Amino acid sequence: MEQHLYMVLQSLNIPLDLNAPEVVDTYDELPLWSALFGVLLLQHVPLRRGIVALDIGCGTGFPLLELAQRLGPTARVVGIDPWKAALNRARRKAQIWGVRNVSVVPADAAALPLPDASVDLIVSNLGVNNVVDIGVVLRECRRVARPEATIALTTNLVGHMREFYEIFTDLLRRDHHDAALNRLEAHIAHRATVSGLTAQLQGAGFTVGRVVEDELPLRFADGTALLQHSFIKLAFLPAWLDVVEPHRQRATFERLEAALNALAVSRGELLLTIPCAYIEATT
């Protein structure tokens, strides 16, 4: 077998510093991940003149800058994220593109640096997936929301990448690797559900008025391409590796790569299904 996976595993031993200028300047998840959900957000989010909007988890500026431009110069848009280096890049983009109705603030969504009842629209494109306590964050959103404000969230859902996880699960089951199988099942189950997010929004004082569910395709030529993709290595592969004990990782993932490649040959490509949702609520 070619040593593609071994090279990937070795590369994970080199820590990626997300605050290093050269890393931040080349970081852009739009083609693979954020754009899948950002398009869904921009298709449905209400756009009104003269509002104050907040983007939670704006990172390097998407969908923050796109939303600011679509709302136009009468609106004011604030982006918050604890990733300071990413915010520096977002500021540079805004300056170069001439987007003057946007500002970014380094902050934790659990303690928003905004006054009570000061925001008309709150968006988060996958941002709530990464917070420590979503209940605390949503209560903060409710605090800063004006009467009749809207909160619009996008998220991936349980069932995400099911084709990948079916193969991974089957491999561990055939190996009678029960501990790893339990860890994988817990990892799969941590994804959001519409009912769960609805309950959390309601618990924070919002009324859910609209839910749009969809399934998006994530396509690769084969398993090798998937496992070597830079964003997969950054955002997904470390958690997948944690499922398996270190001494079994190389053998397990070489077999996983081979099984994914075989599936790609039989189907003409490796297509992973990404169930997603746009959830809109009001105060």
Residue 108: partners with Cβ closer than 8 Å, 6 or more residues away: 82
State the Cα–Cα distance between residues 224 and 113, nearest whole angstrom: 44
State the Cα–Cα distance between residues 237 and 230, nearest whole angstrom: 10
Three-state SS letters, 182-206 = HHHHHHHHCCECHHHHHHHHHHCCC
Residue 108: DSSP 8-state? -
Assigned CATH topology for domain 4-282:
Rossmann fold (3.40.50)
Q: What is the pLDDT along the chain (283 residues), one digit of tens a residue?
A: 445 555 555 555 556 677 777 777 766 656 578 899 999 999 999 999 999 999 999 999 999 999 999 999 999 999 999 999 999 999 999 998 899 999 999 999 999 999 999 999 999 999 888 888 999 999 999 999 999 999 999 999 999 999 999 999 999 999 999 999 999 999 999 899 999 999 999 999 999 999 999 999 999 999 999 999 988 988 899 999 999 999 999 999 999 999 999 999 999 999 999 999 999 999 9
Residue 221: DSSP 8-state? S
